[in-house]
């Protein structure tokens, strides 16, 4: 993991649009690349005139869509067959699978959009979208919108808060990640409780 962190720091130090696309594609798949370590430095470089903030944001959104699409394809062509065949060993029988499918598809658009804004969940939300057969075009549009919004927020933090924000994220990325996960979990619980009460 130390070697991976060192490699990531080296890439971020030479950040350009291609690197943003590549790293955010990894971030939106199943690889442990925190988007904060990519997009906040991109915002800082934009403030220094080395990147265009709009292009950096769009590059982040494009990379996120590429990575999320890989997860979607994995879920679509491997996840469903795997769960239906082997799910019983994970206490997921066919009835439970179809119930989960029904619940997800009932709120697929909102789940996909909100999931793109939540840490940890945004890495995984594309899998159920593929597994349960969400249509590709809505998936791509909603994923792009949510991912680009998230990238815009991070770019704005780096742009307006400057080097201090970059140093904070680099030195306290673990603590920041935990805090954001807790906030995200609280948001999910609040959203689900509101849905049940309506």
Burial grade of 4 (CB within 10 A; 0-12, 13-18, 19 or more): exposed
Which residues have C-beta within 8 Å of that of residue 69, sequence separation ≥ 6? 126, 140, 143
Q: What is the C-alpha end-to-end distance of the chain, expressed in Å?
A: 45
- Across 54-58, 88-92, 96-100, the highest mean pLDDT is recorded for 54-58
**What pLDDT is recorded for position 84?**
63
How many residues are there in the chain?
198
What is residue 33's three-state secondary structure? coil
Give the pLDDT confidence score for residue 184 in this predicted structure: 54
Are 38 and 53 in contact by the 8 Å Cβ rule? The answer is: no
Task: Write out pLDDT tens, residues 144-194.
Answer: 998 999 999 889 888 888 766 666 665 555 555 555 555 555 655 655 565
Q: Give tens-digit pLDDT for 157-168.
A: 888 887 666 666
The 10s digit of each residue's pLDDT in 24-70 is 998 888 776 778 888 888 998 898 888 999 999 999 999 999 999 98
- 9-29: pLDDT as tens digits: 666 667 899 999 999 998 888
């Amino acid at each position: 993991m130390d070697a991976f962190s060192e490699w990531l720091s080296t890439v971020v130090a030479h950040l350009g649009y291609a690197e943003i696309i590549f790293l955010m594609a990894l971030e939106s798949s199943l690889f442990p690349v925190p988007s904060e370590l990519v997009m906040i430095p991109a915002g800082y470089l934009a403030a220094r005139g080395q990147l265009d903030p709009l292009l950096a944001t769009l590059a982040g959104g494009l990379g996120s869509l590429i990575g999320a699409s890989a997860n979607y394809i994995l879920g679509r062509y491997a996840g469903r067959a795997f769960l239906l065949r082997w799910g019983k060993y994970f206490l997921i029988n066919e009835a439970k699978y179809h119930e989960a499918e029904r619940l997800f598809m009932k709120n697929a658009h909102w789940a996909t959009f909100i999931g793109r804004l939540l840490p940890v969940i945004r890495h995984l939300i594309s899998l159920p979208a593929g597994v349960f057969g969400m249509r590709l075009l809505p998936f791509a549009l909603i994923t792009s919108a949510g991912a680009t919004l998230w990238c815009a927020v991070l770019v704005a933090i780096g742009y307006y808060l400057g080097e201090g924000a970059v140093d904070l994220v680099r030195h306290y990325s673990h603590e920041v990640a935990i805090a954001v996960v807790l906030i995200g979990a609280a948001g999910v619980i609040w959203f689900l409780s509101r849905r049940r009460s309506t």
